[in-house]
Amino acid sequence: MLIKIIVSSFIFFTFFNFPAISQNVIDFNGTWIGEVEVLYSTQVPDITGERAKIKLVINKNNVELYTYRTNLNSRGKYLTSWKDFMRDKLIISRYKSNAVITGMQSGSDEKGNWVDTISIELSQTDRKYASVNFSKQSIDNGKNVSDVFGTGRLEVVNNNNR
């Protein structure tokens, strides 16, 4: 009977990973900044070939995503700033040197209802850098779908939490 319990426990812990036991949950903690080059886009207008500067702030299970924007203000002056994206909607999953961040949100504007879905895949190449794949899919009014896919590299610039 004792052997069955030991074997059952071994099988249970082999097939069911517990994050606190099997994964190092601090690997990606910190502020990551870099660029993503858009390789594929069905967005109108097409943004293939453009570069998007992004910042990820990761602290355990909390993730914040920012994009760097340049806007023309009412005085004709260009202003640049970090703008948050999908605040409180992002979920992170980690395994060894990789992490996947996903998020979904919906809303409405003058054109109607829309839904955005993003996925960010990170692979640490060393303690300072991670390669990144970024994809976003949007649908408006249940019919017009736009896809954006990019790849790039992020650098950890603040790793006080690591």
Structure-block tokens of residue 107: 């809303």
Q: Report pLDDT digits (tens) over 24-81.
A: 444 789 999 999 999 998 987 888 888 889 999 999 899 999 988 776 677 777 777 8
Query: Which has more confidence, 26 or 129?
Result: 129
Q: With beta carbons less than 8 A apart as the criterion, state whether 134 and 149 touch.
A: yes
pLDDT of residue 8 exceeding 60: no
Provide the 10 A C-beta neighbour count for residue 132: 22
Q: Give the range among 10-14, 48-52, 130-134, 149-153 with minimum mean pLDDT.
A: 10-14
Domains of the chain with bracketed CATH: 24-158 (2.40.160)
The confidence band for 19, taking pLDDT boundaries of 50, 70 and 90, is very low
- Over its C-alpha atoms, the chain yields an Rg (Å, rounded) of 20
Looking at residues 140-156, what average pLDDT do you find?
Answer: 89
DSSP symbol at 142: T
The confidence band for 15, taking pLDDT boundaries of 50, 70 and 90, is very low
Question: Residue 49 has what pLDDT?
Answer: 85
The confidence band for 160, taking pLDDT boundaries of 50, 70 and 90, is low
Q: E strands within the chain?
A: 30-41, 51-59, 62-72, 78-85, 90-95, 98-109, 112-124, 129-140, 144-158
Phi, psi of 75 (to 5 degrees): -90, 5
